[in-house]
Amino acid sequence: MKAQSADVIIVGGGVMGCAAAYHLAKDGKRVLLIEQFTIGHNKGSSNGASRLFRLIHDGMDYVQLARAAERAWRDLEADSDQRLLQRVDGLDIGTAKTLAGFRVTMESAGVWFEALDRAEIMHRFPQFALPENTLGFYQTDYGLIAADRTLSTLASKLLLHGATIAESESVQQLRASGDGVEVRTEKGKYHGERLVLAAGPWIGPLTRQLGLALPLTVTKELSTYYKPTDMEAFMPGRFPIFRHHLTGGTARWGVGFPIFEHVGVKMVMDCAGPVVDPDDPDRTPVAVQQDEAREYAAGILPTLGGDIIETETCLYTMTPDEHFIIDRHPDFPQIVIASPCSGAGFKFAPLIGRILADLATSGTTQYNIERFRLDRAGLKNGKV
């Protein structure tokens, strides 16, 4: 059994783990990143061609983090000579009731938007067929993130900065050891001064080894890619990213992407997937999920057509209040717990990587992450 030591051990090679490893290695730390599969696998939460970026979220702290995240994206692009975040137009649609709080947040945050009625939306974007009483907020600060390329870029850069990646190693045991940590896999035993747990859907069993029972639920979400009858009509600049704020049914949002990093239009019925065990290897979408997605796409985008090129799934790790977990272990401050989850995390990845690096090395961060504490009322975590 091989033995190795590091300044910081990171468990989980998704976008958050890779972002943390990138920043730590760039800071000159000895970093070991342990991934149970391979970097870029499609079994977790970081796979896929694209994600969306937006400034507006639930609360001004999220808005401030999103603004800082955009700067972090630009820094990563400059360091890697890659274009990973492309600004595009965005459209939030719904009823006056479902959009009321969203409007207040935009106005409070000073984010420019234009309120449109149903007729104006369909005039500007004839791809849509919208329900009666639909309103929309048109914005220019949305973005398209090249998700798969982001992960591969981070992995390449963290290696260039001197980090080590141990792939196909499943963590069997971890524990605090003095002021450090000890991690055992089937291939080796590792000792680190600090530990960052960023294991996505698999984080729950690991935190239980450390005396924390986190109330997490894992769901299997579906993305469907369509080949439109008119490709040009669905390119960026002619077709916006949209989020349809839904009421009733299983999905919270219907989400559509223009053609980007893929030959098809990406459609998502967000937060509609069944609860699953992340260790179940079956990533096949359930039939009712596919039927609902097809019906929704046909109704709202009748010119899209029904030519499905590809379907893919990813796992959402949901907290009860749907906010992130980013905090140090209450008993072992050398261990950082990271579950930037509930389907909203990827857009913050370069910034969260910086925050995790700071927490691991200095125990503090300049960014407001008070909402993500382990002891918050909305999480109600317990000790085993």
Question: Is the pLDDT reported for residue 194 higher than 50?
Answer: yes
- Cα separation, 181 vs 17, in Å, equals 17
Which pLDDT does position 3 carry in this prediction? 56
Question: Is the pLDDT reported for residue 382 higher than 60?
Answer: no
Give the model confidence (pLDDT) of 322-380 as tens digits: 999 999 999 999 999 999 998 899 999 999 999 999 999 999 999 999 999 999 999 97
Same domain, 127 and 94: yes
The reply to whether 306 falls in a domain is: yes
The reply to whether 80 falls in a domain is: no
Confidence of residue 384 (pLDDT cuts 50, 70, 90): very low
Question: How is 45-60 classified by DSSP, letter by letter?
Answer: SS-SSEEEE-S--SSH
The reply to whether 27 falls in a domain is: yes
The single residue listed with the structure tokens 């799934």 is 313
> CB 97: neighbour CB atoms within 10 A?
11
Confidence of residue 383 (pLDDT cuts 50, 70, 90): very low
In sequence order, the β-bridge partners of residue 50 are 146
Same domain, 298 and 173: no
Q: Which of 44-53, 185-194, 255-264, 375-384 has the lowest mean pLDDT?
A: 375-384
Same domain, 241 and 367: no
Confidence of residue 2 (pLDDT cuts 50, 70, 90): low
For the chain, what percentages of helix, strand and coil (3-state, to nearest 5) are there? 30, 30, 40
159 compared with 249, residue with greater pLDDT: 159
Question: Is the pLDDT reported for residue 247 higher than 90?
Answer: no
> CB 130: neighbour CB atoms within 10 A?
18
Confidence of residue 102 (pLDDT cuts 50, 70, 90): confident
Same domain, 280 and 370: no
Residues 6 or more apart whose Cβ sits within 8 Å of residue 364? 358
The single residue listed with the structure tokens 């990973």 is 84
The reply to whether 98 falls in a domain is: yes
In this prediction the pTM is: 0.96
Which pLDDT does position 251 carry in this prediction? 82
- Dig out the tokens for 162 from the structure: 């001197």
Q: Which of 316, 368, 340, 324 shows the shortest CA–CA distance to 16? A: 340
Which pLDDT does position 308 carry in this prediction? 97
284: containing domain: 89-142+217-318
Phi, psi torsion values for 353, nearest 5 degrees: -55, -40
The reply to whether 73 falls in a domain is: no
What number of residues does the chain have?
384
The reply to whether 16 falls in a domain is: yes
% of the chain with per-residue pLDDT over 70: 98
The reply to whether 63 falls in a domain is: no
Q: What CATH number should be reported for the domain holding residue 204?
A: 3.50.50.60
Last residue of a domain, one of 318, 337, 355: 318
- Cα separation, 296 vs 300, in Å, equals 6
> Mean pLDDT across the stretch 269-281?
94
The reply to whether 57 falls in a domain is: no
Confidence of residue 381 (pLDDT cuts 50, 70, 90): very low
Residues 6 or more apart whose Cβ sits within 8 Å of residue 113? 103, 106, 137, 138, 139
Same domain, 247 and 154: no
Same domain, 208 and 338: yes
Same domain, 307 and 233: yes
Same domain, 222 and 306: yes
Q: In the predicted model, what is the mean pLDDT of the chain? A: 95
Q: Are 161 and 22 in contact (CB under 8 A)?
A: yes
Which pLDDT does position 380 carry in this prediction? 77
Last residue of a domain, one of 298, 318, 338: 318
The 8-class DSSP code of residue 275 comes to B
Same domain, 189 and 314: no
Q: Please state the domain count of the chain.
A: 2
Same domain, 293 and 254: yes
Give the torsion sign (CA, 43, 350, 356, 67).
negative
* HEC profile of 104-132: HHHHHHCCCCEEEEHHHHHHHCCCCCCCC
Helix (H, G, I), strand (E, B) or coil at 291: helix
Q: Which of 46, 79, 62 shows the shortest CA–CA distance to 200? A: 46
Same domain, 231 and 372: no
Q: What CATH number should be reported for the domain holding residue 282?
A: 3.30.9.10
Same domain, 290 and 242: yes
Give the model confidence (pLDDT) of 276-327 as tens digits: 999 999 999 989 999 999 999 999 999 999 999 999 999 999 999 999 999 9
Last residue of a domain, one of 318, 347, 363: 318
